Chain A
Amino acid sequence: MIHYVLRRMFLLLFVLFSLSVLTFSLSFLFPGDPLNNLSGYQEITVNELAILEDKYKINSDYLTQYIAFLRRIFSGDLGISFNSQAPVFEQVNRIFPATVELAVYSLLVSIIIGIPLGIISAYYHRRLPDTVILTTTLVGYSLPVFWWALLIIFTFSLHFGWFPSSGRIGLVYEVPHISGFILLDILRSDIIYKYEALRNALMHMALPTLVLTTYPTTVLIRYTRGSMLNVLETNYIKTARAKGLSPFQVLLHHGLRNALLPVIRLIGLQFSSLITLAMITEVIFSWPGVGRWLIESIYQRDYPAIQGGLLAITTFVIIVTITSDILYKWFNPVSRTQVDGKF
């Protein structure tokens, strides 16, 4: 197991290294002067030029520049944005929790709905409930997320007027920014009308969460069903049935534990696709998260912001993926093969 963890850590380092090289080279690939792209200062005066040239080692060879770049990343300096002239790192830090919050709630909802439905579907294999669930998931799986979001807005927001369609919280509430997770922030703050604010935030959250949760839920249902069916075919299940246990008991005591193991890994993997889908959802619902911010930076060709946003999102996705891989192997020794360091 330690061998495996070490291998994964090495892989993580290798990928993060390639990622930093890629981000670094972006300043040279993007149109314009590399110094502008790296620092974010669009008009550099003569006085600043000397300071910046020294800071970014722009006249030295690429290796020295790259090392200077790494130093700056580790000290939390990603340059300033072309647009707002504010430090990119602080901006990313401030809005990243909004995206993570949305993704985490959607993931929780999809786990709560998806896993039981997958089990039900496997339990009634090839009977009516299974067919209904499978057909629904196929539809959910094929829905383009932006169109689905528009349909939901059209129905629940424009037509019935039940939920707000944009933003995170009503403008009348002023929630201090502590952790960036709005529900936590409201609960920890001592503003007046605390519970009204909480209710308002939840209302704002309902539609984006519903949209975002659709895809992972369908994937989870299908995956849980498949994994459950695989387990139900094994010999130890037949043995348990032969001992006289009812199908339900077998499912609960022998099936579930083994079937849910691969699902753990999928949940980790789903997180990365959630972050991506969240980018589209954020654009539609004007959710102030990192995805919307990144896409707006792409429109405005705000190169320092694009670099910072990409670095933040990809690093996050990769770390989550590798962590879930390690957790999966840890919980499930059977899946460790020779390649992974079991001899």
Chain B
Amino acid sequence: MASFKTYYDEQNLSPMRQLWVLFKQRHPARIGLYLFLILLILAILAPFISPYSPYTHDQTALLLPPAWSDDGNVEYMLGTDDLGRDILSRLMNGASLTFGLSIVSVLIAMAFGLVLGALAGLSRGVKSSMLNHVLDLALSIPSLLIAIIIVAVLGPGLANTVWAIVLSSLPRFVHTVRNAVHDELQKEYAIAYRLDGATTFQVLMHAILPNIFQSIIVVATMSVSNAILDIAALGFLRLGAQAPSAEWGAMVAESLDQLYSAPWTIALPGILIFLAVLSTNLVGDGLASALKRRLDK
């Protein structure tokens, strides 16, 4: 929509700022971002603000329903599980594990992906083409399958899950960075910068990186939503976080026996996984559409 401009103002914002301006026009994306930030704060502060320890058993309060039910107790806002552990505290601590760890693992993957992708983007010829095809194929294998394979080799456990997630989201980053670097290198501003005498490294850092960073952010957001689902799924399959851990997927797995007698022990962690993934997807969708609109302009 063409808007009427009273004053002539030249828009010379950086690519990231332009992206932000377009991003915040869309309301679902903004709501998603707020939810994402709330979860992020929860993930960081959980150990300090949770009312109980996620591992304390209270033998007098087993399987208490949430406080709004008639049998509920307001001391345990969201009820307790079969060992008398406070579900609210467990859910809060689970945020650092499921949500926090997926962000951490995606950040690690992003760092590796940037280096490897840049190296691959600079290479050419048979080696590069081979790499590209192998990456294509690696991308088409679902990340959860790769993660399960890696966990099968390394053995179950939360630390191994993180490595599995890092490795399984790596191909996507390498692929994106490689293609973006490859495309940007052909553009005139990169050539001009090189003609000014910049070394390859300088071209990469000062000319190309600021221009491709936005597409990497989009990929990173998508990877976070995948990583949350994968960590939770591995936790649920008892291949990831192990029994007493408050990881959301593991919590669902632990309460499976009480599906009928105490549905809230399963419903609540599931809702949180869903909200975490949904908010990430909303942000990702918003970013992707903002990026598309910025490039179309």
Contacts and interface: CB of A to CB of B under 8 A. Distances in A.
A144 B129 contact: no
B134 interface: yes
Interface residues of B, number: 41
B290 interface: no
B211 to A, nearest CB: 23
B250 to A, nearest CB: 11
A149 to B, nearest CB: 10
A68 interface: no
A339 B263 CA distance: 54
Interface stretch (B9-17, B108-116, B201-209, B236-244): B236-244
A30 B134 CA distance: 26
Interface in A2-19: 7, 11, 14-15
Interface in A99-138: 138
Contacts of A142: 225, 274, 277-278, 281
Interface in B122-171: 129-130, 132-134, 137, 140-142, 144-145, 148-149, 151-153, 156
B278 A272 contact: no
A318 B259 contact: no
B262 to A, nearest CB: 12
B285 interface: yes
B274 A147 contact: yes
B239 A138 contact: no
Interface in B262-295: 263, 266, 269-270, 273-274, 277-278, 281-282, 285
A146 B281 contact: no
B129 A317 contact: no
Contact of B249 (A144, A272, A298): A144
B7 interface: no
Interface in A150-166: 150-151, 153-154, 158
B63 interface: no
A138 B278 contact: yes
Interface stretch (A75-83, A192-200, A273-281): A273-281
A40 B191 CA distance: 59
Interface string B22-63: 000000000000000000000000000000000000000000
A150 B270 contact: yes
Interface residues of A, number: 43
Nearest to B275: A142
Contacts of A310: 149, 152
A141 interface: yes
A225 B260 CA distance: 39
Which of B134, B149, B281 counts the most chain A CB atoms within 10 A? B149
A198 B130 CA distance: 48
A158 B153 contact: no
Given A146-B233, A147-B270, A299-B238, A15 B259 contact: no
B229 interface: yes
Nearest to A310: B149
Given A26-B153, A275-B145, A318-B137, 5 more contacts: A7-B133, A138-B278, A145-B233, A146-B232, A147-B273
Interface of B: 129-130, 132-134, 137, 140-142, 144-145, 148-149, 151-153, 156, 225, 229, 232-233, 236-239, 249, 252, 256, 259-260, 263, 266, 269-270, 273-274, 277-278, 281-282, 285
Interface of A: 7, 11, 14-15, 26, 29-30, 138-139, 141-147, 150-151, 153-154, 158, 269, 272-273, 275-277, 279-280, 283, 294-295, 298-299, 306, 310, 313-314, 317-318, 321-322, 339
16 contacts: A11-B134, A29-B153, A142-B225, A146-B233, A147-B266, A150-B252, A151-B270, A153-B259, A154-B259, A272-B141, A273-B144, A276-B142, A280-B233, A298-B151, A298-B239, A322-B137
Q: Which 8 A-B pairs have the closest CB atoms?
A: A147-B270, A142-B277, A142-B278, A273-B142, A276-B145, A276-B142, A321-B140, A146-B236
